[in-house]
Amino acid sequence: MKYLSTRNNNLKESFTNILFQGLSKDGGLYLPESWPLLDINTLRDKSYEEVALNIINPFVANEVSEEDLYEIIISTYKDFSHSKIAPLYKIDNNKYILELFYGPTFAFKDYAMQFLGNLFSHCMQKKTNQLTILGATSGDTGSAAINAFKGKKNINVFILHPHNKVSEVQRKQMTTNLDENIFNVAIEGNFDDCQRIVKELFLDKDIQGKTSLTAINSINWARLMAQIIYYFWAYLQIEDKEVSFIVPSGNFGNVFSAHAAQNMGLPIRKLHIATNENDSLNQIIKHGLMRLKEVKQTYSPSMDIQISSNFERQIFESFGHDSEKVNQIMREYSIKGEYEFDKSIISNLQSIYESTAVSNTNTIETISYYKKKYDYLSDPHTATGLSILKNVDPDHPYISLACAHPAKFNDAVEKATGSKSLTPKELENIFDKKEKMTILNNETEAVKSLILKNL
């Protein structure tokens, strides 16, 4: 298996190279040059770990032996708190919730990030230089990355988050980790600013010459690769010909992972994107308009994103792997702040995806509705998807993704239900712990200086 870039379809990079680079040197995102097709019948009656091995093995192309890969996978999920790792909860006839909050930081990001941490450690055994991991987070990616990489030998981790724009639990999960290799950076801006700084530093030849910089955001293909697993896993728990998924989305990585599963043979009828009031993805799918707008602060902060980095992968696919066209679109979008797709591309997108923007009010009402009707408590990100699930009249199974434990967003939960969620014991004392965090202006040079100072 070789990998190309969305901005250079002639590349043929190895898996190990794209793992450590994260973002291509041309600014593009990596994708496999072809999709491995899986026979779903061979996956039936297998454990989550066995399904994971079958899905990931074709992508690593013998660069990690099957035996080592399976050990990495076993190690990844051994401490998840549910025996099924990602259980499927039946809420009503043909309506299901895929619960993805049984990892160490109680969010779906753990499912890929724990794998990534173990994979990096394995591959680093053959390297002598130090690795600098750089990532931006709108909330959950940061804590998942910190938990996965804390204390790892020869790996420093710099995580950027928007100052005062994540929940208190999300911030504390990051900043109360005092390991020497962890650096939390609060940027005076929004998530899109953090993401921009990360991308600019990856294209900075000066810093790349001084350290091996790598990405752990979902711009890193390995993150998406690991997320494909739970879509197959969910389908295998239902005896039906096809299934539709509802995916709360901000940066487009999770729902593109579902589309990757579709390309690998998973019989998905429709992928329904749920956004919050930051509805850029909804505008693209419905109207073909990619437009940069101000980020609104909502009850679902991990989705408070206007520039969805992973959507570039979908653009590349929708234009038939035309990297020159992708370069042209991204240049125009960068200069003008908008780009309008023609009708044929809109039609292509709508053949794969549906979308709905869910208001702040609707999010709170949905949390309340599911608690009263089903005695099911959700976090506000999950609620954006559940608001869609509530209104579908399904003739086949619909699965909505539960993104995080409700205790991580107790302000919204209390507003919706009048009481807070029960807090997992791992989070009970987090508010009493000391924090370690650096607050910086919204400037790339300030972050670059901090990294270089701590090499």
Q: Which two tokens stand for residue 304?
A: 């408070």
For 61-99, b where at least 16 C-beta lie within 10 A, e where not — what string? eeebeeeebbebbebbbeebeeeebbbbeebeebbbbbb
With CA atoms as reference, report the closest residue to 198 among 252, 134, 140, 138: 134
Q: How many CB atoms lie within 10 A of CB 153?
A: 10
Q: Is 430 exposed, middle or buried (0-12, 13-18, 19+ CB in 10 A)?
A: middle
The DSSP bridge pattern shows strands 155-162 and 131-136 to be parallel
Catalytic residue among 95, 109, 371, 390: 109
- Number of residues in the chain: 455
The three-state secondary structure class of 410 is: helix
Tell me if 158 sits within 8 A of 180, measured CB to CB. no
β-pair partners for 184: 159
Distance CA 401, CA 246 (A): 6
Cα(249)–Cα(70) distance, integer angstroms: 30
Classify the C-alpha dihedral 104-261-245-41 as positive or negative: negative
SS (H, E, C) 195-232: HHHHHHHHCCHHHHHHCEEEECCCCCHHHHHHHHHHHH
Clarify whether 2 is annotated catalytic. no
d(CA 416, CA 387): 14
- Containing 334, the helix (H) or strand (E) segment is helix 323-336
- Separation of alpha carbons 330 and 314, rounded Å: 13
Catalytic residues: 109
